[in-house]
Amino acid sequence: MKEKDIHSDDAKLDTLLRANRPSPPSLPPRFQENVWRRIEDAEAPVKSESWLDALATLILRPRFALVTAAVLVLTGVLFGTLEGRQAARHEAQMNYLALVAPSSVR
């Protein structure tokens, strides 16, 4: 084959390919607008049905889980201390009454 034949075949092939290039499919009306709306809907936060669901969702996030656990432990320690103090005070009163009061009053 000669150099001239190769170039002429290439030119013919190029024109043939350009003529038979498929046209892009037509998109439905408002396609791009619908795509962007779907993206926005997917990125929007999910609305909870109640405040309790929203609170649970917030607490169960990894960055708040440790803080939530620490608050719960400190709350338990606080209530335990208050209850222990009250029980100790009641026990002290009972011991005092047992020492001071006559046996007939008990």
- How do residues 38-66 score in pLDDT, each as one tens digit? 988 888 776 657 888 888 888 888 888 88
Residue 48's pLDDT is what?
A: 52
- Rounded to two decimals, the pTM is 0.40
Token pair for 53: 């669901």
Mean pLDDT of 72-89: 96
Query: What number of other Cβ atoms are within 10 A of residue 59's Cβ?
Result: 14
Q: Note the pLDDT of residue 90.
A: 95
Q: What is the DSSP letter of 102?
A: -
pLDDT of residue 46: 66
What Å distances lie between residue 85 and 56, 79, 88, CA to CA?
33, 10, 5
Assess contact for 51 and 42: CB atoms under 8 A: no
